[in-house]
Structure 1
Amino acid sequence: MRRTRMAAVGAMLAAALLAGCSEEPAPTLTPPPVPEYAPPAVTEEHAQEILDDVELTILEADAAGDAELLAPRVTGAAQEFRRAEYNLASVSGGESGPKKLWTDSALTVVTATDGWPRSILAVSQPTAGDTRRLLLGLVQDGPRDPYRLVAWSSMLPSATTPTFPAASVGTAPVTADQAGLSATPTEALTWLAASATDIESEGSAHFADDPYRERVRQELADLKQAAEAAGEVSWEWTPGEIVFGVGTADGGALVMGTLDTVMTMRKTIDGAKLNLGGEWAWFVGGDPVDAAVTGTYKTMVTLYIPPAGSEDLIQLVGAERVMTGAERVE
């Protein structure tokens, strides 16, 4: 009888519990939010290993003075820039050599995307005997391709790097026509080219002051003054292309691009002498100019572009220039 009562009580309790459960809604599983982009595919440690491989390739190419040896780890604008430095070392008889590049990183930024290309930005530590910080842009074009250096520049003394998302989170890739910025990277590069020698240009209003363009303008003024007794000097800057871009934590972008420059010195006063020296003489000799001489330069630049709606100005963060050639014009 006791067992029967216990069984009955147990049955009634089970029925009550089942009835209670049936009246409550089933729990709903809420999945985590889908991130805007995939997690970064490269850790900081792996990124530094990649950077070390890039540096080793550069050292080997520098020792041989052969730009073709750069191809496994250096490409595009970076390879052509280094080729110009090797050529300058050759025509100068060793007086001018390629600037030292190193990749020990103080800051590493990795894009987080499930597609390609993928990018790594590194800001180097200063090294022994050189207080510069280098801005290094690397790109992986496809899943079977290595990361290659596509551009670099020396960080300007007065510049600061913007804030980036943590490397464990990653950042968004940025294209040449990226929307959502105060200007597209292509527009910013065009404005920079116009403002390099003309402080009154429309582009100047979009840029914060920087020591690099001040130095360029002073250089042009000094050349004009030195040449005025014999002729005239002109300088034309044209935008190249955007080769690298990553997003910043505030919704802006850090981008790298190229500029091309043609400088012309023309003799306009009969009987005067327009003499050449330095890099110009390495390419065309030191004889006075009879008619005119033109020199070409390539510059790699790094820009910070604020997000759309910001009152901040575009900043030139880094720059690197090399003379690529010169020729006499009759």
Structure 2
Amino acid sequence: MITSRRALITSASATALAAALAACSQDVPTNTAATGTATPQPVLDSERLTMILERIQAGLDAADKDKNADALAGYLTGPAARVRGEEYAVAKATADDTFVHVFNTTSQAGTVALAADFPRTVLTITDFADDEQGYLLALTQDSARENYQLWGWTQFFAGVEIPSTYAPAIGTEQLAADDSSDLKASPQDVLAAYVDALNNPEGDNGKAFADDVLRQRIAAERAVDLSEAGEVSVTAEAGSDGFKSLRTADGGVITMTTLSFSTVYKKTVAGSTLSLADSTVGSLMGDNQEVVGTVTAKYDVIVAFLIPAADADATATALGMDLVLASVSRDDSQAPAEDARD
């Protein structure tokens, strides 16, 4: 069962908890491609989940040691592999290994999909100390002949509450991106609303979501004062990696997905100097860290949401995120007219 040290066990979830604990003492049903059955079953038991997480940890540790993105193959996939590779690139460019986010895969609790086909999703919360924020990990198995791999991770925002979910022995429903069955909204609609909140913080969606760490980060990017030489703008957009979504015991859904945002630094005052030296963005610009026209810094974000059941007295919330500077590009042709003629 997924809970966190911040979870509130209601009477409804307590009933689910009792059922989950009872099921844990029973034989765990198996589910392989060879059975030929179409009946959804729990795709993993707790022991196999632990073994998978230990395997992924070993592969991740080996890749981290040399910051070798190629070594992630077979252990990380999708956005997890891409983001880890981007972290390696930033760490090398800045000579700062703290850009490689450290977490362990030791599971405090996990839940698995009820599925007879592929891909198959697993969510697990990492073990963490009382003064730390834990991580939510999403694993995927895309076909019967592939190993489970880490698909994404997010670090929980401070104070979030994670509802109960069923133990691996029971399993839980796996949802499609556009499935809003008995939910306040589908995963893809929640992502769209959150991206709108990032782009329009004073709009209806901006007021519906809490002022979390990601929203604060983007607000801080927009607030940078470059008026003596130029301007800065920030735009977010939904990712294209899909969703990993599992039903909670109270009928809601935990979903993980991706988005990105781009910060554009634009020189608007001819004859001025706009430099990004001594910054993370500047470190990825090579020897020339001056903004001549525009410089665009693109950030990759993995984000998780809790979507309540349709009859719940709550709205969708962002649970956590992880971000990395993915790329930096420049367009000197956008220089102010006077500079362009020089």
TM range (shorter): 0.7 to 0.9
Task: Name which of 283, 292, 295 aligns with 1:293.
Answer: 295
Q: Is the 8 A contact 2:222 2:232 kept in 1?
A: no
Question: Per-residue displacement from partner, 1:196-230 (whole Å, max 9, x unpaired)?
Answer: 2421234335x43142244224312431x2x1222
- 1:230 paired to 2:206: no
Question: Equivalents in 2 of 1:148, 1:216: separation in Å?
Answer: 29
Q: Is the 8 A contact 1:257 1:302 kept in 2?
A: yes
Post-superposition, which runs of at least 4 consecutive aligned residues in structure 1 deviate over 4 A? none
Question: Equivalents in 2 of 1:313, 1:141: separation in Å?
Answer: 31
**Counterparts of 1:107-118 in structure 2 under 5 Å?**
107-118=109-120
Question: Per-residue displacement from partner, 1:81-112 (whole Å, max 9, x unpaired)?
Answer: 00101111122234554111211111111112
TM-score normalised to structure 1 length = 0.82
**Counterparts of 1:20-39 in structure 2 under 5 Å?**
38-39=40-41
The secondary structure found in structure 2 opposite 1:49 is helix
Question: Equivalents in 2 of 1:249, 1:103: separation in Å?
Answer: 23
**Counterparts of 1:119-130 in structure 2 under 5 Å?**
119-126=121-128
Q: 1:216 to 1:118 in 2, by over 3 A?
A: same
Q: Percent sequence identity over matched residues?
A: 25
The secondary structure found in structure 2 opposite 1:219 is helix
Q: What is the match of residue 248 of structure 1?
A: 248
- 1:212 paired to 2:220: no
The secondary structure found in structure 1 opposite 2:147 is coil
Q: What is the match of residue 159 of structure 2?
A: 158
Q: What is the match of residue 78 of structure 2?
A: 76
**Rg (Cα) greater in structure:** 1
Q: Is the 8 A contact 2:180 2:187 kept in 1?
A: no
Larger mean Cα displacement after TM superposition, 213-222 or 168-177: 213-222
Question: Equivalents in 2 of 1:203, 1:37: separation in Å?
Answer: 39
Q: 1:82 to 1:143 in 2, by over 3 A?
A: same
Question: Equivalents in 2 of 1:302, 1:37: separation in Å?
Answer: 29
TM-score normalised to structure 2 length = 0.79
The secondary structure found in structure 2 opposite 1:228 is coil
Looking at both structures, which has the greater relative contact order when contacts are Cα pairs under 8 Å and sequence separation is at least 6? 2
Return the offset for 1:271: 3.3
Question: Equivalents in 2 of 1:299, 1:150: separation in Å?
Answer: 13
Q: What is the match of residue 46 of structure 2?
A: 44
Question: Equivalents in 1 of 2:302, 2:194: separation in Å?
Answer: 12
Q: Is the 8 A contact 1:210 1:316 kept in 2?
A: no
**Counterparts of 1:136-175 in structure 2 under 5 Å?**
136-175=137-176
Structure 2 letter corresponding to 1:233: V
Computed over aligned residues only, the root mean square deviation of the Cα atoms, in angstroms, reads 2.1
Aligned residues: 291
Structure 2 letter corresponding to 1:272: S
The secondary structure found in structure 2 opposite 1:102 is coil
Question: Equivalents in 2 of 1:44, 1:213: separation in Å?
Answer: 33
Structure 2 letter corresponding to 1:248: T
Q: 1:216 to 1:125 in 2, by over 3 A?
A: same
Q: Which runs of 5+ in 2 are unaligned?
A: 1-37, 333-342
Q: Which runs of 5+ in 1 are unaligned?
A: 1-35
Q: 1:145 to 1:137 in 2, by over 3 A?
A: same
Return the offset for 1:328: 2.2
The secondary structure found in structure 2 opposite 1:281 is helix
Question: Equivalents in 1 of 2:319, 2:255: separation in Å?
Answer: 10
Question: Equivalents in 1 of 2:243, 2:195: separation in Å?
Answer: 16
Question: Per-residue displacement from partner, 1:133-187 (whole Å, max 9, x unpaired)?
Answer: 1110001112221111111111111212122123321111111111212111111
Q: 1:172 to 1:61 in 2, by over 3 A?
A: same
- 1:320 paired to 2:322: yes
Q: What is the match of residue 135 of structure 2?
A: 134
Question: Equivalents in 1 of 2:39, 2:175: separation in Å?
Answer: 13
Return the offset for 1:127: 5.9
Return the offset for 1:37: 6.2
Q: Is the 8 A contact 2:197 2:209 kept in 1?
A: no
Q: Is the 8 A contact 1:37 1:172 kept in 2?
A: no
